[in-house]
Structure 1
Amino acid sequence: MPTDTQSLPSPRKPRRDISIAFDAAREIEAAKVLREQIAALAGGDDEFLRDTLEGEVDFEGLCGRLVASIGEDEALAAGLKTYRDTLGQRIAAMEKRADEKRVLLLTTLEISGRPGITTTTGTVSTRPVQPKLLIVEESEIPSEYWTPQPPKLDSAAVRNALKDSKSVPGATLSNGGKTISIRRA
């Protein structure tokens, strides 16, 4: 014969069902908010929106697509930075080459004794250049030639003092916040 406690349903089961339902409702709401925020982020870019949300209706699927999209954006940004650096190196090399060609033209004109030359692509002429300032020993230059500079805040020192629980009038630390960490599968 069952005892009174054996015939009663387990008190945990209803709580668990409520908990599952609550978690599911939270995920549905989170998915809805995530979809709305992705749509706002797309800013009318239907291709971005379609690529990000294509076929995803559940929270985990949306998050997975968003993680993939973040990876694509980061890869594109890294590629563009590399391309920008490569272009910068090419620009510098071309500028150096142009300067070397100018020196070659100047040397050629000086050797020939001519002040200039006119060609079908342009006229080249020599002209004097003002002397450039060369600082040999900065510490020996008198103070009258110096411009006073306003003090510059040492943000790292202020942050460290506040972290060490020291009071710094006019400064405080923020509450921080949260960020995400993405580990690629």
Structure 2
Amino acid sequence: MSKLYEISERYKNIQVLLDNPELPNEEIKKALDNIGEEFDTKAENVAKVISSMNSDADGIKKEIERLQERKRVVENRVKGLKTYIYEQMQSTGKKKIKGILFTLAIQKNAPSVNVINEDVVPEQYKVPQPYKLDKKAILEALKQDIKIDGVEIKQGTSLRIR
């Protein structure tokens, strides 16, 4: 029988393996299979690893959201500063400023189309869009015993850890 600290060390090693995205799942499964424990105990310990990884994923998600918000703020600040310079150059009649590091110039953008009334545009300029099934509406209809050809309700199983 393994000592507790040896088992703990094995699970720490598993955590290191899980943190390596290049390691194939088969290698992780082999490492888990090599931990000599009773099945129920092993399953619970793997659930602890899963819980720890879910916490890591939640933390990463929150950090991504924080950084995306920060990025949005910085991009808006840049846009505001560019608008400020543009407006000031327009009001003073300057078309170009040559500095030591940067040259600022007001220039024309590439031409673009402004759609005034989409309904009167000839069909040859319209791109057909592929349809998309409304699976939520289909599921609700099937639950109300409405028969719809080509679809059925499926219900699988999965592991739930509480």
TM-score by length of 2: 0.66
Preserved contact between residue 162 and residue 168 of structure 1 (Cα < 8 Å): yes
Residue 165 of structure 1, aligned match among 116, 126, 145: 145
1:93 maps to what in 2? Answer: 73
The alpha-carbon distance between structure 1 residues 43 and 117, as it changes in their structure 2 partners (threshold 3 A), is farther
Q: Is 1:181–2:160 an aligned residue pair?
A: yes
Structure 2 CA distance for aligned equivalents of residues 134 and 144 of structure 1: 10
Between the two proteins, the alignment pairs up a number of residues equal to 136
Structure 1 CA distance for aligned equivalents of residues 100 and 62 of structure 2: 39
2:120 maps to what in 1? Answer: 144
Q: Percent identical across equivalent pairs? A: 20
Preserved contact between residue 115 and residue 126 of structure 1 (Cα < 8 Å): yes
**CA displacement, residues 95-147 of structure 1 (integer Å, 9 cap, x when unaligned):** 11111111122123223322111112211101235688487xxxxx4623385
Preserved contact between residue 67 and residue 182 of structure 1 (Cα < 8 Å): yes
Aligned pairs for 1:80-119 within 5 A: 80-119=60-99
Preserved contact between residue 117 and residue 124 of structure 1 (Cα < 8 Å): yes
CA-CA distance at 1:53 after TM superposition: 7.1
Aligned pairs for 1:19-168 within 5 A: 42-44=25-27, 49=31, 57-129=37-109, 133=114, 141=117, 143-145=119-121, 147=126, 151-168=131-148
**CA displacement, residues 133-174 of structure 1 (integer Å, 9 cap, x when unaligned):** 487xxxxx4623385655542222222222233321111122
Alignment root-mean-square deviation, CA: 3.4
SS in 2 for 1:117: strand
Preserved contact between residue 53 and residue 65 of structure 1 (Cα < 8 Å): no
Unaligned runs of 5+ in 1: 1-38, 136-140
Preserved contact between residue 53 and residue 62 of structure 1 (Cα < 8 Å): no
Unaligned runs of 5+ in 2: 1-17
The alpha-carbon distance between structure 1 residues 142 and 115, as it changes in their structure 2 partners (threshold 3 A), is closer
Amino acid aligned to 2:156: G
Higher relative CO (Cα under 8 Å, sequence separation at least 6) belongs to 2
Amino acid aligned to 2:61: K
Amino acid aligned to 1:107: E
Preserved contact between residue 106 and residue 126 of structure 1 (Cα < 8 Å): yes
The alpha-carbon distance between structure 1 residues 56 and 172, as it changes in their structure 2 partners (threshold 3 A), is same
Structure 2 CA distance for aligned equivalents of residues 75 and 171 of structure 1: 37
Structure 1 CA distance for aligned equivalents of residues 87 and 130 of structure 2: 46
